[in-house]
Amino acid sequence: MRIGVPREIKNHEYRVGLTPPSVSELVAAGHEVFIESTAGHGIDFEDADYVAVGAQILPDAAAVFAAADMIVKVKEPQAQEIALLEPRHTLFTYLHLAADKPQAEGLMASGATCIAYETVTSPTRSLPLLKPMSEVAGRMSVQVGAHYLEKEQGGRGILLGGVPGVAPARVAILGGGVAGINAAQMATGLRADVTIYDINNDRLAELDMHFGSQIKTAYASKAAVAAAVEKAHLVIGAVLVPGAAAPKLVTRDMLKTMKRGSVLVDIAIDQGGCFETSKATTHDDPVYEIDGVIHYCVANMPGAVARTSAFALNNATLPFVLAIANKGAEAAMAADPHLANGLNVSDGKIRHQAVAEALDLPFTAWSR
């Protein structure tokens, strides 16, 4: 198969769809790989590094799309990239369509087969291609939260872990999944006062066993979340409904109960955000303030640690890229129902039910 990797063009996005080690594996399996010139510069890979493992360098995205049958990216295609897609293409990347109807309609119009990393599943019903970036975002959420709690950043002027004789910051983590548990690991490592909220009692029990006395757990009722927001200095939104828009757990009215200079970090912003006042921001302009509360809602958080993120993502995606390249998209999905769960759009139709419901568009099940 002919596989293309364009340079990412989203604001401050330096990750790359395939690293040179991944390209080496694909070339060894008999595939052709086309890399847009400078695609890897953001994580210190030169064009020569790709040539050394058998890739061909092309001058721009248009040339890559024209040469390739499959496009491997990191972030959702921007409008000028969607315009380059054709029905013959398979697009394999993060899409997050539930919060982006214009993108969904563009992909439908293209006729391309669009497989989203974030809805590919595993035999254990986990999300293996979302997991590495959820790990990164969860860990980053505590770093950025601690930073914006500093007074000169507009925060309350609180050290996350406190010092002897001065209490630590109170951290409320909404959601006990992969992002939430990684946030908790970082926050407890900094000696913060951490509580994780979730609606799955079995998950709460697992978290209690995992962390022991390092954290507290609580059922995420509306009343409990409201009380948590009122007390917390840092609230991390880490909820996920696969393929669907994130539920709005923190309302505008709740902000009025928060202490001035508190911080909200919305990891769920790619899926529309779990705070009513969330709106996507960029690394150029990452925060804004409402009612004295700082909001950090960067939609590609892991892009800030692009090298770590690119390697972590490639470790997870490469087996699926190989399967699609070796068999073709339809045969690969027919052979692996978990990969088929990643199919969001094909033949101009929405193929993922949660996406269709979130966008109020017709759902058409895929069958080979």
- DSSP 8-state code for residue 7: P
Structure token pair of residue 228: 């948590």
Does 96 participate in catalysis according to the annotation? Answer: yes
Q: Which amino acid is at 63?
A: A
Give SS3 for 162. coil
Distance CA 88, CA 331 (A): 15
Does 44 participate in catalysis according to the annotation? Answer: no
Q: Which residues, other chains included, contact 28 with Cβ-Cβ below 8 Å and sequence gap of 6+?
A: none
Q: What are the angstrom distances between the C-alpha of 230 and each of 149, 160, 175, 311?
A: 16, 17, 17, 38
- Asked if residue 5 lies in contact with residue 36, where contact means CB atoms within 8 angstroms, the answer is yes
Q: What is the dihedral of CA 176, 178, 184, 186, to 10 degrees?
A: -170
Catalytic residue among 31, 69, 89, 96: 96
Catalytic residue among 89, 270, 336, 352: 270
Q: Where are the beta strands (DSSP E) in 25-144?
A: 32-36, 56-58, 70-72, 90-93, 113-116
| Catalytic positions, written as ranges | 96, 270
